[in-house]
Amino acid sequence: MSDLDTKIIAALERLAHVLRTLLWEEATASRLSPIQIQTLLYLNSHAEDLCRVGQLAQEFGLTSATMSDAVTTLEAKGLLQREPSPNDRRAQRLRLTAQGRRFSAKLSHWADALHASLAHFSPEEKAQALKFLLKLIESLYRAEIITVARICLTCRFFRANLHRDPRAPHHCALMDKPLAESDLRVDCPEHELVAKG
């Protein structure tokens, strides 16, 4: 392993620590656990077909039992409800209550300190950072270290470097439009997995 690789890993670990700390501070202030906060934020920003206990467990790398405990607590607090899935009556999907949506809107500010710091970087610097991080996520997904990666680079609709325009070299076949580096998605609701290769 090169010295540069070691430094990148150390930098990622430091950023992960910052994210955990910010999330823990929000959890303490709101009297919820970090996983309960992540659950509310996830439910607030994902399509209903991705909002099942098993899906959340996979997203967060937890057992279904642990995820179910978090959901039960949030349900008892009136922040979410379980309802039968219209496609499979045996399955239950999770939906935020009106109180849960309001609470999630307040929680969405947990990363404001990071947003403030990112404001000091140019769009070009941020696009390059995003490109690097997406390639790292793709690599970790292909190595089966990350179990869920709804990013452009793992989507069957993504065409890398299809266009000559350096400002928008990629293409999304689903939307049928060119994509700039900054357009690449980290969590695409229309994502369809390309076969691992």
Domain ranges of the chain: 3-114, 122-183
Region 60-79: mean pLDDT is 93
Better-predicted residue by pLDDT, 180 or 196: 180
The CATH number of 3-114 is 1.10.10.10
Instruction: List Cα–Cα distances, 86 to 55, 151, 191, 197, in angstroms.
Output: 16, 27, 21, 34
Residue 61 confidence (pLDDT) above 90 = no
Q: Which helix H or strand E contains 81, and what residues bound it?
A: strand 80-84
**pTM of the predicted protein model:** 0.79
In terms of Cα–Cα distance, which of 141, 155, 153, 142 is closest to 61? 141
- Taking only the tens place, the pLDDT of each residue in 153-168 is 999 999 999 999 999 9
Q: Which pLDDT band, with edges at 50, 70 and 90, does 110 fall under?
A: confident
| 3-state SS, residue 155 | strand
Residues 6+ apart with CB under 8 A from 36: 27, 70, 73, 74
Q: What per-residue confidence (pLDDT) applies to 196?
A: 58
Distance CA 96, CA 116 (A): 28
Work out the pLDDT band at 176, boundaries 50, 70, 90: very high
pLDDT of residue 3: 92
Q: In this predicted structure, what is the pLDDT of residue 197?
A: 54
Mean pLDDT of 69-81: 95
